[in-house]
């Protein structure tokens, strides 16, 4: 992945080069610092962190003019000027001490508290930065900068839920903050909370233009909920706005392939590589797509990349696949052996080498490679079947029979999941058409083939809800939660049933679980707040309601509940 560029976190200071207007630029986003590669997808955060390696070494030596001021009159202003001077020199560990001294002399200055926290963050001491940044936010709630820096520090500390809250507080100050929208959407994408990303970013863009990262994240979110046409549209718009963005181009090409729009995908790759002809990850992704789609362009491009990257394992692996398809098994063997040597942990390369050795009559070598591939995680039915055939040819009939049984089990499970998916899709269509009974029957049929799929149990529960089968709905929700406690929608619905049954403590537990599973699930936060209020837990209810309004300031139900709580508090 491409490393994020180092960039000085700048601040307001008239006449100083450690200076930024407006505050929005406090943390800058740059789509080129985000690396996306399909299969598997990898992301490198878009915030340009200050790397610890960028800190200047040596003693903190102040310029003579500021030293003289500090000796004669050590004021907060003088220490702040010293901190800004060190910041310009990228000596952030020195800036920390200067701003700390300034903040101690003027503890009610929101700006000094912020600069102290910012310098700690810039020096890489995220944990220590939290306290002064939070103090700055308390002193001046209208200043977006402490919230942005807090969110960035919390993200680096892997405290994602707290970081999300700070991104949302920043958005409460400025709903169009690019940095906050970038940061929050990235956190949500990392958690695969695709619905929340769509709710955050899929709004009319009349007042603002999506940043490259927002376009990428919204496209990923649409693809994550199987809205591929919307994903392609958003990513195409993003690429038109930022034509140099490789992450957007790569994601768009993959989505177009999923839509069977192969030629369009090839065109996107060609345009991206015209702008970035030496980008190896995009070249590899393009070759992977060409090979998987059996494009006639694949052999020529594979040979080109082999000449450019003779020691790249995936180039050899893909060339081996192409050679195997052509029946050139000796050539395929050379490529697969090279791929295994360069990347011994890739299971599929061992499997392909084993299959090639089988074709060449080297059964013992084939057995070793096939067993290695399975041990490394290649659990496809085909790998088990290939090994069974080799074992039978070697005369090991009992071991071959065992492998064939594993093959049958895997094949049956694979077929069952495929059948279940088809029936579930028909059930979804029945629900959309208002036929709950038919949907329930289809979901039950799907569960026969895939009985441990939590989402199927949840879908059946929703169908039973429309049929007023409370007992059946409850049982299916309980099963869904048992299989996946992080299925927030099931937890929330189970809480609703408990609340309707008058069991507030049980409802509270389910709503808490839903909020924990999906920290941006505003419906669950509103339900939790209402339940806590019914238990006279007023402070906790207010906190839950505040969280709901942070997520969605315009949520009608949250506002109504807030008015009801205020009225209840005012009544004698």
Strand partners, 63: none
Torsion-angle region of 56 (φ positive above 0: left; ψ -120 to 50: alpha; else: beta)? beta
Rounded to 5 degrees, φ, ψ at 42 are: -130, 140
Q: Is 60 exceeded by the pLDDT of residue 13?
A: no
Mean pLDDT of the chain: 86
**Contact 404/392 with Cβ under 8 angstroms?**
no
Q: Is 60 exceeded by the pLDDT of residue 15?
A: no
Task: Give the list of residues 6+ apart from residue 148 with CB closer than 8 angstroms, or none.
Answer: 23, 26, 27, 166, 170, 177, 179, 180, 183
CATH code reported for the domain at 1-191: 1.25.40.10
Hey, what CATH class is 296-395 in? Answer: mainly alpha
Reported as a single tens digit per residue, the pLDDT across 289-326 is 999 999 999 999 999 999 999 999 999 999 999 999 99
The structure tokens 């402070």 sit at 539
Sign of torsion over alpha carbons 41, 47, 53, 54 = positive
Residue 425 — pLDDT band, cuts 50, 70, 90? Answer: confident
Sign of torsion over alpha carbons 242, 222, 149, 56 = negative
**Contact 499/531 with Cβ under 8 angstroms?**
yes
Rounded Cα gap, residues 197 and 176, in angstroms: 15
Residue 570 — pLDDT band, cuts 50, 70, 90? Answer: low
Residue 498 burial (10 A CB sphere; 0-12, 13-18, 19+)? buried
Rounded to 5 degrees, φ, ψ at 29 are: -105, 140
Q: Is 80 exceeded by the pLDDT of residue 32?
A: no
Comparing CA positions, the residue from 402, 409, 446 lying closest to residue 424 is: 446
Reported as a single tens digit per residue, the pLDDT across 109-149 is 999 999 999 999 999 999 999 999 999 999 998 999 999 99
CATH T-level assignment (fold) for domain 499-572:
1.25.40
**Contact 356/339 with Cβ under 8 angstroms?**
no
Sign of torsion over alpha carbons 106, 108, 113, 115 = negative
Q: Cβ–Cβ contacts within 10 Å for residue 87, how many?
A: 28
Rounded Cα gap, residues 218 and 224, in angstroms: 10
Query: Which ranges of 191-328 does DSSP label H, i.e. alpha helix?
Result: 194-201, 212-224, 228-241, 246-258, 262-275, 280-292, 298-308, 313-325
Q: How far is CA 110 from the centre of its chain?
A: 33
Rounded Cα gap, residues 134 and 150, in angstroms: 7
Rounded Cα gap, residues 90 and 305, in angstroms: 41
Q: Is 60 exceeded by the pLDDT of residue 52?
A: no
Higher pLDDT, 322 or 70: 322
Comparing CA positions, the residue from 60, 69, 125, 135 lying closest to residue 98 is: 60
The domain limits of the chain are: 1-191, 296-395, 499-572
State the pLDDT at residue 43. Answer: 26
18 is written with which tokens? 């450690």
**Contact 166/150 with Cβ under 8 angstroms?**
yes
Comparing CA positions, the residue from 331, 405, 393 lying closest to residue 365 is: 393
Rounded Cα gap, residues 232 and 211, in angstroms: 16
Average pLDDT over residues 45-65: 49
**Contact 290/318 with Cβ under 8 angstroms?**
no
Rounded to 5 degrees, φ, ψ at 47 are: -75, 135
Reported as a single tens digit per residue, the pLDDT across 350-407 is 999 999 999 999 999 999 999 999 999 998 999 999 999 999 999 999 999 999 999 9
Torsion-angle region of 39 (φ positive above 0: left; ψ -120 to 50: alpha; else: beta)? left
State the pLDDT at residue 569. Answer: 67
Residue 207 — pLDDT band, cuts 50, 70, 90? Answer: low
Rounded Cα gap, residues 494 and 516, in angstroms: 15
Q: Is 90 exceeded by the pLDDT of residue 511?
A: yes
Average pLDDT over residues 329-351: 97
* Stated pTM of the model: 0.71
Q: Is 90 exceeded by the pLDDT of residue 428?
A: no
Comparing CA positions, the residue from 136, 117, 115 lying closest to residue 128 is: 117
Residue 273 — pLDDT band, cuts 50, 70, 90? Answer: very high
Strand partners, 29: 47
The structure tokens 């020195």 sit at 94
Could you tell me what percent of the chain has a pLDDT over 70?
Answer: 88
Q: Cβ–Cβ contacts within 10 Å for residue 438, how many?
A: 16
State the pLDDT at residue 108. Answer: 95
Rounded Cα gap, residues 87 and 11, in angstroms: 10
State the pLDDT at residue 541. Answer: 92
- Biggest alpha carbon distance in the chain? 94
367 is written with which tokens? 């057995």
**Contact 408/421 with Cβ under 8 angstroms?**
no
DSSP H/E element including 479: helix 470-483
**Contact 319/287 with Cβ under 8 angstroms?**
no
Average pLDDT over residues 400-426: 84
343 is written with which tokens? 């990347």
Q: Is 90 exceeded by the pLDDT of residue 426?
A: no
Q: Best-predicted range by mean pLDDT among 4-18, 325-339, 405-419, 520-534? A: 325-339
Q: How far is CA 188 from the centre of its chain?
A: 6
User: Same fold for the domain at 296-395 and the one at 499-572?
Assistant: yes
């Amino acid at each position: 992945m491409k490393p994020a560029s180092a960039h000085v976190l700048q601040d307001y200071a008239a006449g100083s080069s450690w200076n930024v207007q407006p505050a929005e630029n406090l943390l800058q986003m740059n789509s080129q610092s985000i690396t996306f590669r399909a299969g598997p997808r990898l992301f490198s955060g878009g915030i340009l962190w200050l790397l610890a390696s960028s800190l200047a070494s040596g003693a903190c030596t102040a310029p003579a003019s500021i030293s003289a001021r500090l000796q004669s009159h050590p004021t907060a202003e003088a220490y702040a000027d010293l901190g800004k001077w060190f910041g310009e020199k990228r000596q952030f560990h020195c800036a920390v001490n200067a701003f700390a001294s300034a903040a101690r002399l003027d503890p009610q200055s929101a700006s000094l508290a912020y600069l102290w926290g910012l310098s700690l963050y810039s020096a890489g001491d995220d944990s220590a930065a939290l306290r002064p940044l939070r103090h700055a936010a308390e002193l001046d709630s209208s200043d977006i900068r402490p919230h942005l820096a807090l969110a960035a520090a919390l993200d680096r500390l892997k405290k994602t839920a707290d970081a999300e809250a700070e991104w949302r507080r920043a958005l409460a100050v400025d709903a169009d903050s690019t940095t906050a929208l970038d940061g929050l959407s990235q956190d949500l994408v990392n958690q695969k909370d695709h619905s929340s990303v769509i709710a955050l970013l899929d709004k009319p863009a009349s007042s603002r233009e999506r940043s490259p990262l927002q376009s990428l994240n919204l496209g990923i979110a649409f693809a994550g909920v199987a809205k591929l046409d919307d994903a392609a549209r958003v990513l195409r718009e993003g690429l038109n706005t930022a034509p140099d963005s490789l992450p957007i181009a790569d994601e768009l090409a993959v989505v177009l392939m999923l839509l069977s729009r192969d030629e369009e995908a090839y065109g996107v790759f060609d345009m991206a590589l015209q702008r970035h002809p030496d980008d190896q990850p995009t070249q590899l992704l393009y070759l992977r797509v060409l090979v998987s789609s059996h494009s006639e362009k694949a052999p020529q491009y594979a040979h080109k990349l082999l000449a450019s990257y003779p020691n790249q394992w995936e180039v050899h692996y893909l060339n081996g696949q192409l050679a195997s398809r052509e029946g050139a098994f000796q050539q395929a063997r050379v490529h697969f052996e090279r791929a295994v040597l360069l990347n011994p942990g890739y299971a599929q390369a061992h499997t392909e080498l084993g299959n090639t050795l089988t074709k060449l009559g080297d059964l013992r070598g084939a057995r070793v490679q096939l067993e290695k591939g399975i041990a490394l995680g290649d659990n496809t039915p085909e790998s088990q079947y290939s090994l069974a055939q080799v074992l039978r040819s070697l005369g090991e009939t009992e071991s071959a029979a065992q492998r064939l049984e594993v093959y049958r089990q895997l094949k049956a499970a694979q077929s069952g999941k495929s059948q279940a998916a088809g029936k579930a899709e028909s059930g979804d269509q029945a629900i959309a058409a208002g036929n709950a009974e038919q949907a329930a029957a289809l979901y039950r049929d799907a569960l026969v083939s895939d009985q441990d799929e939590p989402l199927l149990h949840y879908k059946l529960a929703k169908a039973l809800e429309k049929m007023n089968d409370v007992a059946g709905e409850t049982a299916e929700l309980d099963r869904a939660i048992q299989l996946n406690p992080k299925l927030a929608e099931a937890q929330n619905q189970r809480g609703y049933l408990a609340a309707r049954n008058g069991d507030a403590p049980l409802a509270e537990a389910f709503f808490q679980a839903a909020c924990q599973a999906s920290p941006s699930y505003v419906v669950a936060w509103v339900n939790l707040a209402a339940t806590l209020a019914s238990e006279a837990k007023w402070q906790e209810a207010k906190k839950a309601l505040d969280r709901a309004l942070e997520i969605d300031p315009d949520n009608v139900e949250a506002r109504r509940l807030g008015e009801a709580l205020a009225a209840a508090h005012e009544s004698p």
